[in-house]
Structure 1
């Protein structure tokens, strides 16, 4: 099975930028990790993970002289945005949840399994970013940090095109009252991102809408939400929430990647 990444229309319209929100299809991993598992942190065979990542790098036309594969960092649900110019040492990955680059041929990306991947580009400036936005990163504005770092490299906010990739949908994202309270303590207006089936039901959080709001607040010129749920689409996506519900021992991670061609 060949790679069949999902593309955002707004990012696809730019010459000189290649990207893809990759599904779990087209790789070499097996079992729980079938088949395009790209997560170094999983218990999958690391050689298979490396081949999966190299396939994505080749698909997007990455420069082999820059290390091949896809540059991802040690994600920890924070807000650090890091400018990269080459593939880091895998044994000592920098800790950051957004990768920013203006190096042609260097494929950068983020790993997710329910969190929201955000790909961004200012094609005119040749500056790109990939951000990992779980609820912690979203509430603390990791996408705003990524936009600021892009701007430091010459991008302009109003020229940035951003796409929110596959992540857990509101209907699948049941949370506890303490989760909701964390958001409302930050800003009571955040109540609009929670809904209940009835007054006594547990709240459900709208992660993609919240991330979209953060992009709007950052002044990004174009935003697209792919509106695809990782938890509900088992054939296409890995999902930590689904793994937990099914009692599985581990889970794979999909990758979303972008490159200045």
Structure 2
């Protein structure tokens, strides 16, 4: 089955893709293109899926061991997976990648400086500043915020992201502007706008940003979702991959 690769006109001519779950070798609850080496899926299937993505992107994948942090690293070797949640490079031919399953996959590009970045931004990482840290790391390699364009790929939408009051409290303790991204739900529950918050953080950093408006939770045929798998009582879940290269 052919891979389904979502692209963004906002990123211009740079080679990139937000891969859906379609076209992979995994089966069962991981059916499709599960690229999560940390999942309990068959190792051979994940390796084949990742190889298909690498072939589509034109080179081996450079990634990180994601820990919901604000840490950013520069790409080194394809098999190196430092503990971080974003990766940058100004080297042509290097394929940057991040994994998600409701969190935000963010691809960034400065066409004038020839610098790219890829970030995994869940609520913890976004609140800690991973997006701003990615922009800063790109600027250390010649980029400027005004020239950076960023696209947030498939992520959980506000209508599907129900949280409790302690979640709101965590945001209020760090960012007094956060309440605008919470809508009232049933009882003491709220609905958090993760992509809206990501756009706000990127734009506040001076970056021209957009969201593809795909909800991972709401489209099981195309996307893996940690929250949907949890609600279904499944033991594990697949991971989507996003990638970018100069």
TM-score class normalised by the smaller sequence: over 0.9
**Residue pair 1:85, 1:106 contacting (<8 A) in 2 also:** no
Q: Measure, in 2, the Cα distance between the counterparts of 1:156 and 1:233.
A: 36
Question: Which residue of 2 is the match for residue 22 of structure 1?
Answer: 19
**Given the alignment, which residue of 142, 156, 176 partners 2:130?**
142
Q: Equivalent residues in 2 for 1:209-220 (5 A)? A: 209-220=196-207
Which structure carries more strand by proportion? 2
1:72 lines up with 2:60 in the alignment: no
Could you tell me how far apart the structure 2 residues matched to 1:84 and 1:38 are? 19
Tell me if 1:96 matches 2:54: no
Q: Does 1:249 align with 2:235?
A: yes
Cα distance between partner residues in 1 of 2:25 and 2:225:
18
TM-score (structure 2 length as normaliser): 0.97
Q: 1:239 aligns with which of 222, 225, 229?
A: 225
Q: Deviations over 1:194-248 (max 9, x none)?
A: 00146x341010000000011011111x211111110111000000000100000
Instruction: Provide the C-alpha distance between the structure 1 equivalents of 2:103 and 2:228, rounded to a whole number of angstroms.
Output: 13
What is the aligned residue count? 246
Aligned to 1:111: 99
Secondary structure of 1:188 counterpart = coil
Taking structure 1 as the reference length, the TM-score comes to: 0.91
Tell me which residue corresponds to 2:33.
Answer: 36
Query: Counterpart of 1:188?
Result: 176
C-alpha contact 1:85 1:102 (8 A) present in aligned 2 = no
Structure 1 unaligned blocks of 5 or more:
63-67
